[in-house]
Amino acid sequence: MENYHNPALLSQTIEGLKINPDGIYVDLTYGGGGHSREILSRLRNKGRLIVFDQDEDAFNNRIDDERLIFVQHNFRFLYQFLKFYEMIPVDGILADLGVSSHHFDSPERGFSFRLDGELDMRMNRNFSESARTLVNSYDDERLAKVFRIYGEIPCSKRLARQIASISATHTISTTTELKEIALKFAPKNDKNRYLSQVFQAIRIEVNNEMSALKEMLEASVKVLKQDGRLVIISYHSLEDRMVKNFFKSGDVEKSEPETDIYGNVNKPFKIINRKVIVPDEQEIKDNPRVRSAKLRIAEKM
Residue 3: pLDDT band by 50, 70, 90 thresholds? very low
User: Band of the pLDDT at 5, cuts 50, 70, 90?
Assistant: low
Domain co-membership, 229 together with 289: yes
Decide if 196 is inside a domain. Answer: yes
What is the rounded average pLDDT of the residues 106-117?
93
What is the structure's pLDDT at 268? Answer: 94
Q: What is the signed CA dihedral for 29, 298, 274, 245, rounded to 10 degrees? A: 80
Alpha carbon 237 to chain centroid, angstroms:
12
Least confident of 165-179, 236-250, 262-276: 262-276
When divided into structural domains, the chain yields a total of: 2
Last-in-domain residue among 154, 184, 207:
207
Q: Are residues 120 and 200 in the same domain?
A: yes
Is 232 found in the same domain as 84? yes
Domain boundary among the residues 207, 239, 273 is at 207
Range of the domain at 136: 110-207
130-145 exposure pattern, b = at least 16 Cβ within 10 A, e = fewer = bbbebbbebebeebbb
Q: Is residue 3 part of a domain?
A: no
Nearest to 57 by CA among 9, 91, 128, 108: 108
pTM flag (> 0.85):
yes
CATH code for the domain of 283: 3.40.50.150
Same domain for 87 and 215?
yes
Give residue 122's pLDDT band: very low, low, confident or very high (50, 70, 90): very high
Confidence of residue 258 (pLDDT cuts 50, 70, 90): confident
In the prediction, which pLDDT does 263 show? 75
Residue at 43: amino acid letter? L
Query: Beta strands 24-27 and 48-52: pairing type?
Result: parallel
**Confidence band of 4 (pLDDT split at 50, 70, 90):** low
CATH number of the domain residue 135 falls in = 1.10.150.170
Q: What are phi and psi of 7, to 5 degrees?
A: -65, 135
**Cα–Cα dist 36/15, whole Å:** 13
Domain boundary among 207, 236, 268: 207
